[in-house]
Every structure is written in C-alpha cells, then in structure tokens.
C-alpha cells in the first residue's frame, strides 16, 4: 500500500476508535454537581508538561532532521500550553508553588519506550494529538456549560489550533516515512496501542473524577 493510502486508512481507523471514546465522553454526569474546573486544569498541567518532556526525550534518539525539528517544536508548544494553563489558574487564584508532576502513567511509560521514528510519529503527533483535540472539544463544552467562558476561550483559540497542527505534521511525516509493510505495521501497532492505553486510563480517571470531560495534552 502506498503511504498516502495507508495514512488515510490509519486516520479512518483512529477516528472510529475516537468516536467510540466520544460515546462515553458525556458533557455532564447524571445530574451530579460539576467537578471543580481547577482540579481539571491541574490535570491539564501534568499532561502538557509530560508531553513536552516526552517530545524532548525522543529527540536525541531521532536521526531524521525533520522529525527531530517537529519534536522540538512540539516540546515548545506544549511548554507554552503549560504556561497558558498556569496563567489561567493564577487568574482563578490558585497558587502552584507546590505543584509536582505525578510519576509516569502507563501511557507515557509506553511512549517513552518507543524506539523508531515511525512509532514516535504514529503514536505521538498523529494519534495522541488527535486524541487530545477530541477530548479538549468535550472539555470546552463542559467549561461553557458551567459558565467558564475564559477557560473555554483559552482552549478553543490558543491550544486547539496547536493540537491540530501537531496532528497534521504527524500526518505529513507518516506519508513520508511509512512507505514499507514493516514501517506501516509499526505505525499501525503504535497508534492502536496508544489509543488502547489512553482509553483505559481515561475510563479509570473518569470514575475517580466523576466526569469524562477533562482535557488532553
């Protein structure tokens, strides 16, 4: 299969899985009170800096210059997202002097272990950023539903365009490098595993939080 057809097929497969995830990503719970937006934004902080660190960690083992530069750009964008969310929390009167990152969850542990450029592209920019865009859309609706227009605006105007840009860069890189049955197999497996782990983690987190409308990365 030529690389362009392969990427189109992988995109369609991912979108089916993301739609299934969306079926359980309800706007609000069964009549319960909303989860504190501050708590959800702290989750966003952890996600943003974790993805920034992941992209930076992948750079030294990546020889392809265009992939390396894309990772560098993503690391910077995600760090900027961290700062944007940090600023929003400050506006809400939340100090972050004691903020600490949680230990790697199973998703980031898996992603850090990926070795080949094609796996990094497929799992990271192409799949994880598409997932982030999807769940952020639900989070935006959640914020709007409960009257937090400023947080919704932050995500819609500043964070979401970056997530979409990262996904599109991943798509371009996959079309360039997923040219053989072997690279296409690696890409397909990495994308599927990423969505599988992410869905399990979000399901578990939703039970603890009382909502499935929390941001991605």
The per-residue pLDDT for 153 is 97
Asked if residue 118 is part of any domain, the answer here is yes
Find out whether 18 and 52 touch, Cβ atoms under 8 Å: no
Q: Does the residue 136 lie in any domain?
A: yes
The CATH number assigned to the domain holding 78 equals 1.20.910.10
34: pLDDT strictly greater than 70:
no
Query: Domain for residue 113, yes or no?
Result: yes
Residue 214 maps to a domain:
no
Instruction: Tell whether the model's pLDDT for residue 208 goes beyond 90.
Output: no
Each residue's pLDDT tens digit, 150-183? 999 999 999 999 999 999 999 999 999 999 999 9
> Structural domain of residue 163, as residue ranges?
3-18+34-207
Is 99 contained in some domain?
Answer: yes
Q: Determine the average pLDDT of the residues in 54-68.
A: 94
Q: Are 210 and 26 in contact (CB under 8 A)?
A: no
Helix (H, G, I), strand (E, B) or coil at 63: coil
The pTM of the full predicted model, rounded to 2 decimals, is: 0.89
pLDDT band at 140 (very low <50, low <70, confident <90, very high): very high
Mean pLDDT throughout 23-43?
63
Query: Which residues lie below 8 Å from residue 163, measured CB to CB, with a gap of 6+?
Result: 129, 132, 133, 136, 216
**pLDDT-derived band of residue 31, with 50, 70 and 90 as boundaries?**
very low
- Interval 129-155 mean pLDDT: 92
- At 212 the pLDDT is 67
CB count within 10 Å of CB 115 equals 11
SS3 2: coil
Q: Distance between CA atoms of 91 and 10, rounded to whole angstroms?
A: 40
Assess whether pLDDT exceeds 70 at residue 187.
yes
Q: At residue 105, does pLDDT exceed 90?
A: no
Q: Which of 216, 207, 193, 191 is nearest to 51 (CA)?
A: 216
Asked whether residue 71 is assigned to any structural domain, the reply reads yes
* Residue 213 domain-assigned (yes or no): no
For the cut 60, the answer to whether the pLDDT of residue 192 exceeds it is: yes
Query: What domain count does the chain have?
Result: 1
CA dihedral of 110, 123, 152, 210, whole degrees rounded to 10: -40
For residue 77, what pLDDT is reported?
A: 97
Average pLDDT rounded to a whole number, residues 138-144: 90
Q: Is residue 28 part of a domain?
A: no
């Amino acid at each position: 299969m030529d690389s362009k057809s392969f990427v189109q097929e992988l995109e369609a497969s991912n979108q089916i899985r993301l739609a299934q995830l969306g079926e359980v990503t309800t706007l609000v719970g069964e009549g319960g009170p909303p989860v504190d937006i501050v708590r959800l934004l702290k989750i966003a902080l952890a996600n943003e800096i974790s993805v920034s660190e992941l992209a930076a960690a992948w750079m030294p083992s990546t020889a392809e210059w265009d992939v390396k530069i894309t990772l560098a750009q993503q690391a910077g964008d995600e760090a900027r997202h961290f700062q944007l969310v940090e600023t929003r929390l400050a506006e809400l009167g939340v100090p972050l002097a004691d903020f600490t990152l949680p230990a790697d969850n199973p998703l980031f542990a898996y992603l850090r272990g990926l070795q080949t450029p094609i796996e990094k592209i497929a799992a990271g920019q192409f799949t994880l950023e598409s997932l982030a865009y999807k769940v952020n859309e639900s989070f935006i609706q959640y914020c709007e539903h409960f009257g937090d227009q400023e947080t919704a605006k932050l995500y819609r105007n500043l964070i979401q365009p970056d997530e979409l840009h990262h996904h599109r860069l991943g798509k371009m890189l996959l079309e360039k490098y997923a040219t053989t049955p072997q690279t296409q197999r690696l890409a397909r497996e990495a994308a599927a595993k990423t969505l599988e782990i992410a869905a399990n983690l979000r399901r578990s987190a939703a039970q603890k939080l009382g909502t499935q409308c929390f941001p991605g990365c």
